[in-house]
Structure 1
């Protein structure tokens, strides 16, 4: 599946590949100029591998009055990034949920907004690995629908299947705030539920039955370990990092420390067949990001590491009448294609370049870039309608 520069896979060949298949992906002149400066192996790897950001937030409205929401150039931003797909994620527990049914309404409104955005961009949700491979072969950007937090369930297990029928294929069990009917202990909150709740266990079993990949980010160690005893399929922790990789910003390190994973806990997840995503936080450069990936690979092995940025591919959405709008006020690191200061190329290009320079092989980069996620995604979704 991999092609090296020795086989003559040039930047010109790469651009011809992108602009083929009906012209679904077209590079702009600025991006083409920047790619010219890269090692030609970078563009070859980006073209040949299925690159996936396993946790990428797309801001859309969550109130009925704001649906269908803003026009977003998802295709353009995905093309620039070099990624084949993102796990298109939203959460509903901000602002605070106050009334019964609020979370459920927010999920329905967000999915309606995303339906509209995908239709505008002629992008489809990939419901299984075959869909993802087909989109990649055609050079068409793709998304995998993700929701961060089971707040919308509100104790109704049947809503998992309802969300599945709307395209959900990755469910983050927990987010920052406890759900009205809790699913487990959140790692940044005082423990209250003794780890995974009985309802949380039921949700995991229902995800296994339907074909939804379970994400245990935001779960305490006790919740993770209990979930591993329940699930019949491997799980993902889509965005984290080793607690030994704190970067050079003390304030950021203090904020992120509770969200990082220990070597011992990372091994527990990997030994159960799981995969862990490394986020871009705590890395000021692509090279530091590659070092953080290397640190996790050294602990759990290259088969159990992926990319999960916890950034936003498209601009921040702010409701009408609120302060600011669009991309105003966004910080470096918040947007995927602006993950680092003075970044000249799209996200995946920068990461592949840094991984090559860090000594990873082309095969290893393919695994980290998306191959390991694809294995889990297939394990979760194979055999389901």
Structure 2
């Protein structure tokens, strides 16, 4: 992919815009949601920066008979977290797909369920960068609609138009299992397709035409490099970490290793203007996550790192029908690793986090004794301790994502 002058001019525009908003100390959360007892510097940075989790699963029903699903306190959890926005994602391939059209049905049902969640929480989807900035300025938490895996396309690239019209602005090309019409090779499976497929390439081109950000998480290196040759705009890999940062649990490290990125591959993505989201996995506390972020920054630079927790901000949803039509468990369910041992996790619409019911805001102990501070507060405090100032935290926290999101969603003149 060639980096055009347009890329750099828009990048400078967004960076200067981010600096301006930081200087205004805008208010992304209600005053009564700010945790007491924290260092004012932490709360000021949380307010000033646009914190975005680029990959957060919100569990909803994927079967029409289970609609509308349980009440989900999304807005209050976002207020507690300190985040301004999340890329609200879901996947349709956790339960085995058995017939043509099923992935599309689940996709449409998932979007309808998310419509209900947003309506009940008085929230809307952001469709462009201006929407995100407006929501942040007004103190309104918001979401960017994402989906993990192009299974719903079922070989029909024109379905991207409908997805776009329904508010999709962030597309994960791959997930844990091949789509009925494969888009590329998955990093946890033996290579089968020689990297990016012809259909995968057509999906990238159409996504760019419409204004949808392409996410290459779950793609192996060959697929990623093929995608970079096709793409004319920067891409993102939302949730990973360096394969040199394996944490303190050898069994968990062994399970997660195929999902981690090498330094050389990270540099390739960054060299094309891309952004890499660092996740919470293999970090036992906020400081370890900050150290993992710092390690990534040391490799690719401060302008190419973001947050992609791969967690759930709200309570997991467990379908009554989750017990049937599962994939072979050796392929479908990654073993949860707890204290070096393995066991099958509770089935839900996401499976990596071993504790089952742990949510984004309850990953780590609070910063204050007897207090309860949310995820972004914890991370900002840790990033400060790691030596980053407000400008750098603003880039990692959401500014870098905003840059590539703006490039992806901006309409061409």
TM-score by length of structure 2 reads: 0.84
Q: CA offsets per residue over residues 231-261 of structure 1, 9 Å max, x none?
A: 1110000000000000001111011000000
- Which ranges of structure 1 fall in alignment gaps of 5 or more residues? 20-24
| Number of the residue aligned with 1:22 | none
8 Å contact kept, 1:174–1:219:
yes
Aligned-residue offset at 1:164: 0.5
Cα 1:64–1:300 change in 2 (3 A) is same
8 Å contact kept, 1:210–1:384:
no
8 Å contact kept, 1:211–1:381:
yes
8 Å contact kept, 1:311–1:333:
no
| Number of the residue aligned with 1:253 | 253
8 Å contact kept, 1:332–1:339:
no
- Alpha-carbon distance between aligned partners in 1 of 2:28 and 2:202, rounded to the nearest angstrom: 44
Cα 1:345–1:333 change in 2 (3 A) is farther
8 Å contact kept, 2:366–2:373:
no
Cα 1:333–1:42 change in 2 (3 A) is farther
| Number of the residue aligned with 2:149 | 149
| Number of the residue aligned with 2:332 | none
1:337 paired with 2:340, answer no
Structure 1 residues 19-34: aligned runs within 5 Å: 25=30, 27=32, 32-33=35-36
Aligned-residue offset at 1:70: 1.1
Q: CA offsets per residue over residues 154-195 of structure 1, 9 Å max, x none?
A: 000111111010000000000000001000000000000000
1:348 paired with 2:376, answer yes
**3-state secondary structure, aligned to 1:380:** helix
- Alpha-carbon distance between aligned partners in 2 of 1:163 and 1:322, rounded to the nearest angstrom: 26
1:372 paired with 2:400, answer yes
Aligned-residue offset at 1:321: 7.5
**3-state secondary structure, aligned to 2:277:** strand
Aligned length, in residue pairs: 365
- 4+ aligned runs moved over 6 Å, structure 1: 321-326
Structure 1 residues 1-385: aligned runs within 5 Å: 17=27, 25=30, 27=32, 32-33=35-36, 36=37, 38-320=38-320, 331=355, 334-341=358-365, 344-383=372-411
- Bigger mean CA offset, 92-101 vs 338-347: 338-347
Aligned-residue offset at 1:383: 1.8
- Alpha-carbon distance between aligned partners in 2 of 1:330 and 1:81, rounded to the nearest angstrom: 21
8 Å contact kept, 1:169–1:213:
yes
Q: CA offsets per residue over residues 243-295 of structure 1, 9 Å max, x none?
A: 00000011110110000000000000000000000000000011111100000
- Alpha-carbon distance between aligned partners in 2 of 1:116 and 1:161, rounded to the nearest angstrom: 22
8 Å contact kept, 2:28–2:137:
no
8 Å contact kept, 2:238–2:307:
yes
RMSD: 2.4
- Alpha-carbon distance between aligned partners in 1 of 2:403 and 2:140, rounded to the nearest angstrom: 20
- Which ranges of structure 2 fall in alignment gaps of 5 or more residues? 1-17, 324-345
Aligned-residue offset at 1:338: 1.1
- Alpha-carbon distance between aligned partners in 1 of 2:83 and 2:90, rounded to the nearest angstrom: 19
